[in-house]
Amino acid sequence: MNPLLLLGALAAAPQAVPAPPADSAPVGREAADAVTAAAEPPLILDARYKGDTLAVVRGGVQRGVRYLDNLDVTLAADLDRLAGVRNTRAFAYGLYNNGTSFSATLAGDAQVVSNIETGIRAARLYELWLEHGDDALSVRAGLYDVSTEFDVLESAAMFLHSAQGTGTDLSQSGNNGPSIFPFTSPGIRVQARVRGDAQAGLTLRAAVLDGTPGDPDHPQRTVIRLREQDGAFMIGEAEWRMNGVRLLAGAWRYTARFALQEDAATMRSGNGGVYLRGEVRLAGDDRRGVTGFVRTGVASGRFNVFDRFAGAGITVNGVLRDDGADALGLAVAHARTTPRLRPLTEGMTAGETAFELTYRTRVNAHLWVQPDLQYIADPAAMSASRNVWVAGVRLELRLRP
């Protein structure tokens, strides 16, 4: 995720760039939405623990096994029912990771095998915000993870690989990444439904946040520090839903200046990009059905190691169970290196490609088990790197079923 640096010879490129983030599932969005449901209490305390046991079985930097974990503790409050503050919600989110490294030490890939890898052992305040409004129009302000609402699809959230969360083109960007796991920025988000309803219609959202989440020199801390040189990170997205189809179109940009890839001493503005993302129900329903998804994105090659990203996948619910409490998924993610950078970095290839096959099933109301297999071609986009096979299993415990 954000604190992991691109590996091997990528580190010798003119500008070292943080590896893509290990996006967790949108826990914040789930908890915040739940508290507004009429059947839910006005105050909800929730906890979720994920543990990944991962092994490099072939290739990579070296063989080995690592255990990574992630603890989310959230508190969501409906201030309308609690204190009479109309149409207002509050949300707090604490995060802990053991800091074990897998991609950085064993697999040697750049896009990051596990979306809970941070490389930093820390307990931190992750989100803290207030939201006012309703489904038609709302404003959210505070410490905020943009990946809970921007560039996120439900069908892709089951995968362990980081690039199936926020795309690599976006997640690699910035001095400490955009405001996503595990570092967040203070900012403001506005969302409006301009047509239809939650099931079919058009929703627009935009956010402006501090351009450098946290403090890169002190990654264990939650730091809110607004400096002129950090600038702002801006992102906007249009979401359209209709008849089992969901489409996202987004654009993002930093106002700060960044070093050019081919000349680290030269600073320029214009670091930004665009992305398109979509999912469609191909057959069946939520309990037993097939869903496909695709994503493509572009980032400025003047500032970023990867200037193109493409991903796709398919998920099948109810593979072995009639209650829909299991799912099988197959996905691929390809990040293309910036052409202007390849002649400057010996051995750099056209990009890195990651394939993932995963199966997730519920054991009981609180426990989920997910065996996982991944294959990474051209890890870290370096010709000297050995293609790597990774096998592992994720256990997830939830306080609330």
- Is 226:190 a contact under the CB 8 Å cutoff? no
- Can you give the pLDDT at residue 14? 37
What is the C-alpha to C-alpha distance for residues 332 and 337, in angstroms, rounded to an integer? Answer: 17
What SS3 class is residue 59?
coil
Report percent pLDDT > 90 for the chain: 78
- Is 251:235 a contact under the CB 8 Å cutoff? yes
- Is 181:147 a contact under the CB 8 Å cutoff? yes
What is the C-alpha to C-alpha distance for residues 127 and 28, in angstroms, rounded to an integer? Answer: 8
Alpha carbon 378 to chain centroid, angstroms:
22
Angle at CA 260, nearest 5°, toward 103 and 257?
Answer: 100
What is the C-alpha to C-alpha distance for residues 360 and 319, in angstroms, rounded to an integer? Answer: 10
Q: Kindly state the helix (H) or strand (E) to which residue 5 belongs, with its residue range.
A: none
Q: Which amino acid is at 366?
A: H
- Can you give the pLDDT at residue 394? 98
Name the stretches of the chain with pLDDT < 50.
Answer: 1-25
φ and ψ of 105, to 5 deg: -115, -30
Count helices and strands (H / E) in the chain: 3, 18
- Can you give the pLDDT at residue 202? 96
- Can you give the pLDDT at residue 31? 58
- Is 3:119 a contact under the CB 8 Å cutoff? yes
